[in-house]
Amino acid sequence: MIREFFEGVRTLLRGFGTWRRRPGLMALGLVPGLIAALVLLAGLVPLALSLGPLSDALTPFADGWIPAWRSVLRAAVGIVVFVAALALASAVFSALALAIGDPFYQRIWRAVESDLGDAPPSDGGGFWMAVGEGLRLVLLGILIAILVLLLGLLPLVGGVLGAVSGVVLSGRMLARELTGRAFDARDLSQADRALLFRGSRARVLGFGVATQLCFLIPGGAVAVMPAAVAGATTLARGMLQRTPLPPPPASGTR
């Protein structure tokens, strides 16, 4: 399992290798990420500046505590709130970037499929499908942010548990979303996709966690998004090779 996890991390690194083969195409993939990042910064910067008052408002019960303990608690709550916001921001960033940059990312996906050989004839969806997937991604991001916030409020272990859960859940969500185009192009059903993900859980998690950790670095989301799209295409192809799918039902059968 550990080996498979790090194989997922290496898959993201192989996505960066696409820069060597297709530098112009990958550079174009930076544009939608930059636009999405600027939109998100407009919300994250004010939140970061208001973490102190927000932490005070969330912990009125600590007003009578010893000042040192009160400060520790409120600092931890502030960190958890910001981690939850980052989990949501990761989903919103991906949704915005995928919707804005659908033509760019489609070209990256197609290039990687061609490099790997036996590319599917379909383009794997279009703009409106990307918008629909983006909305679903935002809703999942909201649920993850709420869960991270609730976990973070647990005494003693809440801060660490919330942060780790946020990275793991957001990473898994990103991996599932970024592999979607390759599966859409092959017209795979939800049952087929579930089977593929079950067969490569650790590898998918390694790819997703590595991507999410890169997204948390300032400017990382913009720089990594083209490589993540390329890496996810490779990941999807590997999942298809590892887990044979059942043949489609014969025509006319029930």
Task: Tell me the pLDDT tens digit for each residue of 30-40.
Answer: 998 888 888 88
Whether residue 251 is contained in a domain is answered as: no
For residues 237 and 181, the answer to whether their CB atoms sit within 8 Å is: no
What is the C-alpha separation between 234 and 254, in angstroms, rounded?
34
Whether residue 22 is contained in a domain is answered as: yes
Q: What per-residue confidence (pLDDT) applies to 47?
A: 77
Summary mean pLDDT of the chain: 84
Higher-scoring residue by pLDDT: 214, 244: 214
Who's near 82: CB < 8 A, 6+ residues apart? 47, 48, 51
Give yes or no for residue 135 having a pLDDT over 90.
no
Whether residue 209 is contained in a domain is answered as: yes
Closest CA to 112 of 124, 100, 101: 124
Give yes or no for residue 232 having a pLDDT over 70.
yes
Sign of the torsion angle spanned by Cα atoms 238, 141, 226, 97: positive
Q: What per-residue confidence (pLDDT) applies to 237?
A: 92
pLDDT band at 254 (very low <50, low <70, confident <90, very high): very low
For residues 152 and 77, the answer to whether their CB atoms sit within 8 Å is: yes
Structural domain count, the chain: 1
117: how many CB neighbours lie within 10 A of its CB? 7
Whether residue 180 is contained in a domain is answered as: yes
- DSSP assignment string, 118-145: S--SS----HHHHHHHHHHHHHHHHHHH
Whether residue 252 is contained in a domain is answered as: no
Whether residue 162 is contained in a domain is answered as: yes
Judged by average pLDDT, the poorest of 100-109, 152-161, 209-218 is 152-161
Whether residue 50 is contained in a domain is answered as: yes
Whether residue 248 is contained in a domain is answered as: no
Domain with 20, as residue range(s), is: 2-242
Sign of the torsion angle spanned by Cα atoms 180, 41, 16, 6: negative
pTM higher than 0.85: no
Higher-scoring residue by pLDDT: 230, 157: 230
